[in-house]
Structure 1
Amino acid sequence: ICGFFRDMFPDLLVELHQLFKAVSELDEPAEQNIFKQRSEQLYEQLRKAGAEHDEAWDLACARIFGPAEGEYGTSVAKLVETKQWEDESHLGEAFIHSLKHVYSSNYRGREMYELYKANLAAVDIVSQIRSNHEHEIIDLDHYYEFFGGLAKSVEISKGEPVDIFISDTTREHVLTEELQYAVQRGVRTRMLNPKWIEGMLKHDYHGAQKVADRMENLLGLAATTNQVDSWIFSAVHQEYVADEHRSKQMKDNNRWAYHGMLETLLESHQRNYWNASEEELEMLRNRYLEIEGDLEG
């Protein structure tokens, strides 16, 4: 959970934990109740670590983790924004350390790193619900921060990637799809959509900034989920670098944001998410240096 959920629904956190505990205490064989089976496994681990019975059982039934009291997000987005990460495991560990605090009936924000990793290691599927038409997966950094961060933290805790899905509840029938298709839809309806681009660029300064934000979100999704295809970066390059008219529009709207977007595109290649051709790279570097010269001049 994020810090806002914690602050807005404190009673719900307690009620959910009571539900988890009730399910774990059902009078039925553990092989018929995977939740109960998992709680009993965690209980044994906690007891071996020195926890007393009541404490161990309360924590073993807990499934809600989030930021420490007074904190609200993770450090994942800040690492991507500032480029201060070495490899993908750095992002996964940052997520774990940000959200390693357990919320149960007896504990509110207690740091439990090993317990959190044990829960993450048991995950087979990471999913995200899309509940409105306003935002696509590439529109907000929270998607890669929480959804992507969770996927990457599960991967490093489990030792292997897990399946990642988006469930779209905006239609009459719920549609569950693999993340890469949700990313592609977001790119096509936003960053590669002439009507959307022209609408954005009607807003001085902010228009190009919003486009650049989505470029950064793409890189964040690529790093945390590995579900952004290389062709997407080439398509973005074709739209915003190779197209002279579009490039001038971006530069005139907000040259600082455009410069940052080109830098993120270069970073995407340097981090091996984009298999760019030499022609694409040469054009991108020239455009980048051109804008950098304008900024310094």
Structure 2
Amino acid sequence: FKAGYIEPGPSGLMTRGRPDILPTGRNFYSLDPHKLPSLLAWETGKQLAEKSLDKYLEEEGTYPENIAFHWQCTDIMWTDGEGMAQMLHLLGVCPVWQPNGRVRNFTITPLVELGRPRIDITVRVSGITRDNFPSTIDLLDEAVQAVALLDEPVEMNYVRKHTLERLGAEPDENEEALRKATYRIFASQPGTYQAGTQLAVYASAWETEKDLSDVFLYWNGYAYGKGTFGAVAHDSLKQSLKTVTLTFNKTASDEYDLTGCCCYFGTHGGMINAARVISGNEIKNYYGDTREQGQVQVRTLEEEMRRIARGKILNPVWIEGMKEHGYKGAGEISKRIGRLYGWQATAKVVDDAVFDDVARTFMMDEQNREFFEKENPWALEEIARRLLEAAQRGLWNPADDVKEQLRDIYLEIEGWMEERMGDVHGDFQGGSIDIITANEVEGWKSRMAAVGI
């Protein structure tokens, strides 16, 4: 307020040993992307990689050939590239740091030292990472290309195995074909954001899992890497997803979680659904936890969803905190429940019991319902409509007590809405869910057909 100059400061997480980010409230700058991954992030990333492989090996008796990642900017800006380090270690390469901390290049870890196959990766990178940290994408892409060219047995180098499968009859010397066969990093078209899937889910613009898979392929079929920025690569993305058997994302802070933004289920959930549809197989989904350094954990995505639902959305303390914010708090509750629905629509990782308790807590509890009626009845209507849609689509099998009351409560809510809105001219949606897919929208259908979907 003194209108004086305030020196900017760095961004980061206090939990990553960064007291230099204080005081908050300053204009902040990010970091030097050429120093990624940091030495500390490298050690954490290696643990994430090994714990993921150990868990999969214990459950399946073999290594995953291809792991799909949702690579977000928070990995860069909050944890100095832990996820990036994880992917590099899976490939079997190690960064080379200069004395000033910058990563100069990387070295290939010999198979005898690695002690396992080189794992292939499929990466859906966020738009913010794509546009702000291209050097990190270049480094990861160069590592993929280098590993793909190694003269190693394909049973010990899954990157090379899948590259050769994509090449087919094309010789390795065909540079254009080889480049396309090594595309592993994808995102939406340059200048655009989001994964598309969440838009289809929110608009109820899907009928089958393939509908959502097609949307994901259409939006995210653009390749990025060294010398490549947004190359049209829908078929390459499809080929990559075809061999995925495991997906991965992670958390480093409870400031954000899987219901904090629709991009989580739209991207990671959309990728899970697409891999499942394209491969024809069920996909395992893991979630890393590096909130406490030195105690790296890897759990299933289902376990993480339970942790979030019980620890936040259904937590009475959190609910009361949201109530203090009136209209806005009610809206935030509704948004998070909508994202639970999005996760179930895409990844099928939300238990029936969680939806049952959401209905009991927000629909069937008189005090909570009165709060919504007073502060934001539209938010409760949205919760009720999504629950009804989940049940109608077979995404949720409600408990008997919930099933009996849910529709009656929704009719009561509709009564509130009609009274408050007065005379309404034109169509009124109410509790009906109108499903419209690409087959019914010519422009949408033709655009998808133009890229081979």
TM-score, with normalisation over the residues of structure 2?
A: 0.62
Q: Does 1:261 align with 2:372?
A: no
Task: Quote how far apart the aligned CAs of 1:216 are.
Answer: 0.8
Task: Quote how far apart the aligned CAs of 1:121 are.
Answer: 0.7
Q: Give the gaps of 5 or more residues in structure 2.
A: 1-124, 420-453
2:96 — aligned with what? none
Pick aligned residue for 2:358 from 236, 240, 248:
236
Which structure has the greater CA radius of gyration?
2
More helix by share: 1
1:157 — aligned with what? 278
2:234 — aligned with what? 113
Q: Does 1:4 align with 2:125?
A: no
Superposed CA deviations along residues 182-235 of structure 1, whole A, max 9, x for unmatched, are 111111112211110010011021111111111111111111111111111111
1:132 — aligned with what? 253
Superposed CA deviations along residues 86-121 of structure 1, whole A, max 9, x for unmatched, are 122211221111111112334321212222111111
Superposed CA deviations along residues 250-284 of structure 1, whole A, max 9, x for unmatched, are 22221111111111111111111221245423422
Pick aligned residue for 1:276 from 371, 391, 398:
398
Percent identical among aligned pairs is 30
Equivalent residues of 1:231, 1:274 under 8 A apart: no
Paired with 1:86 and 1:76, the residues of 2 have a C-alpha distance of 13
Secondary structure of the corresponding residue to residue 216 of structure 2: helix
Task: Quote how far apart the aligned CAs of 1:140 are.
Answer: 2.3
Equivalent residues of 1:58, 1:106 under 8 A apart: no
Pick aligned residue for 2:297 from 175, 179, 196:
175
Paired with 1:148 and 1:278, the residues of 2 have a C-alpha distance of 29
Q: How does 1:50-129 map to 2 (within 5 A)?
A: 53-129=174-250
Equivalent residues of 1:17, 1:104 under 8 A apart: yes
| Number of positions where the alignment pairs a residue of Structure 1 with one of Structure 2 | 294
Secondary structure of the corresponding residue to residue 168 of structure 2: helix
Pick aligned residue for 1:22 from 143, 146, 150:
146
Pick aligned residue for 1:226 from 337, 340, 348:
348
Q: Give the gaps of 5 or more residues in structure 1.
A: none
Pick aligned residue for 1:292 from 403, 407, 414:
414
RMSD: 1.9
Superposed CA deviations along residues 73-92 of structure 1, whole A, max 9, x for unmatched, are 12111112122211222112
- Matched residue type, 2:226: S
Task: Quote how far apart the aligned CAs of 1:168 are.
Answer: 0.8
Pick aligned residue for 2:264 from 143, 152, 155:
143
Equivalent residues of 2:209, 2:277 under 8 A apart: no
1:197 — aligned with what? 319
